[in-house]
Amino acid sequence: MRTTTKRGIGRGAAVNGNGRPVLPPGALSPITVYRQPEPVRRSRWAIVRTAFVWLFVFLLMCAGALGGGAYLFFHESVAAVVPKTQDVKVAAKRLDIALPGQPATALVVGYDKRKGEDAGMQSRSDTVMLVRADPDADSISLLSFPRDLIVDVACPGKPSYRGRINEAYSECGTKGTLETVRKLTGLPIHYLITVNFRGFRQLVDAIGGVWMDVDRRYFNDRGGDFGYPTITLFPG
């Protein structure tokens, strides 16, 4: 490719395009200097107003975070106590309505539903208790029923019969225990609490464990007619 220089080099070069520089260069042409305008000085009131705006935004963000955290906390708390099994959902429909400011009674049912090789065994409620909260007296009362207490077992849809109180659960589930205790005591029951082995373990872990004083050596090698579980405990 062939090229041709069209102009000179430098301000003082000739316009004939010979490409030869001229020293010293010619006089500088007029130039214009541009400067950034000075920032507007803000008043004290403008500074204070900006600080308040950012403070308001910060507080608004904190309030939103706290509100979201509280919502999640109460949502999880409510979800943890709502009935999950069909048995408990059916029994919950038979509860009495708790009145604001009035004493309320809760029925606690601890059942021995198991997994593994004992999954086919019929469950019984060896723990049956009533918990009464009285806001006027600022007190909580607890009544525990022995598992072998002979009562009139009231199973909805079936005739009543004399039997142990823990049979009500095995006959017709939680609603049977609810109706049996209600018939036995004549008390309204407003709340229902069911606890299985998993829930019992979680309760023990939540309070940091339970210390027990074992007074002697206890041992059982699954003997007996029913094959009781192995027990190996040492004093301490």
Q: In residues, how long is the chain?
A: 236
The two structure tokens encoding residue 180: 């049996």
At 14 the pLDDT is 55
pLDDT tens for 120-170 read: 566 778 889 999 999 888 899 999 999 889 999 988 888 889 999 988 888
What is the amino acid identity at position 157? G
Residue 205: the pLDDT is 86
The 3-state DSSP class for residue 126 equals: coil
What are the extents of the domains in the chain? 86-208
Give the pLDDT band (50/70/90) at residue 92: confident
Mean pLDDT, all residues of the chain: 80
- CA distances 23 to 5, 16, 19, 30, Å, are 19, 17, 13, 20
CA atoms within 13 A on the CB side of 93: 6
Note the pLDDT tens digit of each residue in 14-44.
Answer: 555 555 555 555 555 677 777 888 877 878 8
Task: Say which CATH topology domain 86-208 has.
Answer: Aminopeptidase (3.40.630)
